[in-house]
Structure formats: structure tokens, C-alpha cells
Chain A
Amino acid sequence: MPPLFTLADVSTMRGSADEHVHPLSGVTVDIAADRITVVVGPSGSGKSTLLRLLNRLEEAHDGVVSFHGRPIGSYDVLELRRRVGLLQQRPTPFPGTVLDNIRVARPAVTRDEAVALLERAGLGGGFLDRRADELSGGEAQRMCLARTLAAGPEVLLLDEATSALDAAAAKVVERTARDLAEGGLTVVLVTHDLRQARRLADDLVVLAGGEVVEHGPATRLLRRAKDERARAFLGGSS
């Protein structure tokens, strides 16, 4: 099966032309469909930047990012973002009720559809009329997940989406991610938590210093990574 995303020699730049840094440098990697790909690496290694390239919240300075074999820039960016949903690190409830939040993503959603989305994200229908800003951190993050799913994405990007949650709430989001992947959604997850990577990853991408130092099936990399930096990270963080 052809890869869903292809990054070919991709670099990003932040700052001015005179004074800048490259969060990612010469990244080449494929991301397969219908699997959970986990991107790991130390802080500042460019994990979130890589993720944000996939829904064009970041732009490649050099190289090409492709989606379904087409350069990502050739898609209508708003349509692309509905197809490639993102759940951020911290919950971002919008004003109003949980239903109001879901309607931001899908204005015509019915109450029954909204309840189904909440249940898919591990929340009950009883939350529908609750004020979004009164939810706990875990509940708010699951509401944000339901809101992201409301747009009907085929890919779900999770940017350290459980790092601000307690263990129980994180487990629920993880289980939901696994269920979604089994239901045919492609999941790309960024984490610095290697135990989480072990629990979830079908494929692993290991970043260090803005470069991909290893990528491939998680079972192989976790057992025997070739690159020294990958070995140091995968061994040291577990």
C-alpha cells in the first residue's frame, strides 16, 4: 500500500532570513495509512513541527510533503485540515456548551450525532449540554477529540495529547486512539513518553536534533535500533 504521507528532504525554518533556526532538517520519511505511527524524540527534536507539517500549520522551507501521492500544497488547505484533524497538547474548549463546541467543526450536527461523537471519544451523551469551560482537563480533552472527529477526518494527529492529563484520562484517550485506528483511521501521535509509544505504536519515527534518525516497525526498533542516538533515546527513556 502506498504511504499516506511522504516527506522528502523536508526542512523547516523559523525566524528571519538573517537569524533563524531549522526545527527540522532534511527529513525523509513515509507514514503509512491505517496504522498508528508514533513520533518520539527528546524535547526540541522537532516532533511537533513534523506533525504540524501534515495539516499545514507549518510550512516546509525546503523539500516536499505529499499526501496521497500529491504535494500537500496542492490541496485546498481548509479541506485538508478537515481531512487531517489535530488534537493539541492542552485542551482548548471554546465558549459555550459541549454541543456548541462540536458545532464549530460541524455546524449541522444533530444531537444524536453529537452524542455518538462523544461516545466515540469516551464521553457520555450527558455531557452534551455541559458548559465546556467547566469540564475537567481529561473531559475537556475528550470533548476536543470529539470536536476533531466531528469534522470527519481520515487522519488524526495527536500532539502530546495526553501529557496534560492524569493517568486514567490518558488511558481513555489512548484506548480511543487505538479503537479509531482499528476502525480505519490513520493516527500519528507525538509523545516523549516511551511507555506510551510502546503501548500504541505500530510504526515508530525517532527524531533527534531535527533529523529522523530511525523509522520503521515499532517492534523492530524497540528491540534493535541501528542508530546510536535512537538507541540512546529508546533505551534511556524506557
Chain B
Amino acid sequence: MTALAAETAGRTAVPVPPVWGIALTLVLVAVTAYVAVDQRLGLARDLAEAVVRAAVQLVAVGFALRFLFEHTGIPGSLGWVAAMVLLAGRTAGGRASGIPHGTRIATAAVGAAAVGTVGLLVGARVIEATPRIVVPMGGMVVSAAMTGATLTLSRIHDEVASSRASVEARLALGLPSAEAFAPHLRLALRAAIAPAIDQTKVVGLITLPGAMTGLIIAGVSPVVAIRYQIIVMYMLLGAGTVAALVAARLAGRALFDDAHRLRRIES
């Protein structure tokens, strides 16, 4: 272990890879680069950008989190999670182009999922309200919620584009917009939640998930690590579902006007 690694790991006694070891992993990037160039995939530029961005982003985040943990306490951590919610909402909203107020809907969905799930776990004292817990847990929740909102909104967009006649047939029978769109909303929710259920089913069999892997690397017994992982998996399932449901409900309203007419959306 290098001096830097020893200093960095000092407080937790976690074995930390030396800087030259990190540099060595560039060999794996070189393999990817070789395949991209050799197979003329047209991805070399993207790859270079991704590799540099990942390193710069992670270094920046590492220092930012250290600052957060040491100096800002819970208010700073909540601010960090709020910023992630805004960013995730914007990203998911971008996938919902054409749905009125798509970005606002996605942000509300991700925010509701984050507040609901992390709030429940902190409130019930399942997890501690400390920056070291709230920030990474919040990050995982926001990521799962973003996926749930994105899948829901993009499916709703597709449903409106492909099934306008069917929705209007129900409206023309005098059904209110919520009932007329309900079958399509159910399809969107199913499309958003099913992957999370599948992922929950195979956890530990196909992949060792991140939280558990991190704890095991940090020297925690796998039997203890699974406690966190079970919490995390159920939390992510809940977060994705809450985000999907909120996004679906809000989008379902935004797509119709007061006279139960389906708005025209950009395809």
C-alpha cells in the first residue's frame, strides 16, 4: 500500500488500491479502445470522452463528498440529494419530450420517491440520518427513481402516439380521461416496474450488487452485508415504483385538458 493509500484508508483500514494500480486498469480501457478501432465501431471518440469524464467526475465527487461529510452535515447532504433529484428530473424529462410539463413531472416523481423511501427508512430508524448514509442511499434511490420515471414517461409517450384512436374511442363513449387512459397507464407502469422486479429476483445470483460489494471489500462479513443489501434492494424497488406511479398519474393528467380531450403531443 502506498503512503497516499495508507493515509486515505487510515480511518477505515480498508485496503485501497495504489495510484499505479488505478493507472494499470487503463489497460482494460485500451482493450476496449482496440476493439472499437479494430472493428471500426466509430466509438473511439466517445470512449475517450467517457473515460476522461468518468475519472474527472469521480475525483470531483470524491472531494465534494469528503467536504460534505466533514463540514456540512445533514443540511448539506440533503442539498446534495436535492441537486441529484433536479438533475435526474431533467434527464428523465428529456426522455418525455412531447408530454406537457415532462421535466416538472419527472422531477416531482423522482423527488417523491426520494422523500418517500429515504424518509421512511430514516423515520423508522432503519438507517441512520448521517451524511455517510443519506448521500449514498439518496443517490441510489434517485437513480432507481429516474429509471422508473424515464421508463414510464417514454412508454406513455409511445402509447399516446400509437393508441390515440383507442383512447379517443373511450372518450367518445363518455368515459372520463382517467378511465379512458387507464389501460395505457397500466401498460406504462408495468413496463417501468417489471425490470426492477426482475432485478430483485436475481440479485445475488447473477450479480453481487454495489452496496454489498462495497461492504465486503471494506471488510464487512457478507452475512452482515446482506442486511444492507436487502434494505437497498427493497428500497430501490419501492423508489422505482413510487416514481413510476407519480410520473404516470401526473402525466395522465397533463395529457388531457378540462374537457377530457387528449392533447396533441410531439412525436
Contacts and interface: CB of A to CB of B under 8 A. Distances in A.
Interface stretch (A79-87, A202-210, A229-237): A79-87
Given A78-B260, A81-B174, A104-B173, A88 B183 contact: no
A186 interface: no
A14 B264 contact: yes
B261 to A, nearest CB: 6
Contacts of B168: 57, 88
B264 A92 contact: no
Interface string B155-185: 0000000000110111111111000000100
Contacts of A81: 171-174
Interface string B244-267: 000000000000010111001000
Nearest to A144: B169
Q: Size class of B's contact patch?
A: 10 to 19
Nearest to A82: B174
A78 B172 contact: no
Contact of A78 (B176, B183, B264): B176
Interface in A23-72: 55-59
B181 to A, nearest CB: 13
Contacts of B175: 78, 104
Nearest to B261: A57
B183 A95 contact: yes
B165, B171, B173, B259: most-surrounded residue (chain A CB, <10 A): B173
A85 B166 contact: no
Given A14-B264, A56-B261, A77-B260, A94 B166 contact: yes
Given A95-B183, A104-B173, A90 B165 contact: yes
Interface in A80-112: 81-82, 85-86, 88-90, 92, 94-95, 104-105
A12 interface: no
Contacts of A86: 169, 172
Contacts of A88: 165, 168-169, 172
B27 to A, nearest CB: 54
Interface string A122-162: 00000000000000000000001001100100000000000
Contacts of A94: 166, 169-170, 183
24 contacts: A55-B172, A57-B168, A57-B172, A59-B257, A59-B261, A73-B259, A77-B260, A78-B174, A78-B175, A78-B260, A79-B174, A81-B171, A82-B173, A82-B174, A85-B172, A86-B172, A90-B165, A92-B165, A94-B166, A94-B169, A94-B170, A147-B173, A151-B173, A151-B174
Interface of B: 165-166, 168-176, 183, 257, 259-261, 264
Interface of A: 14, 55-59, 73, 77-79, 81-82, 85-86, 88-90, 92, 94-95, 104-105, 144, 147-148, 151
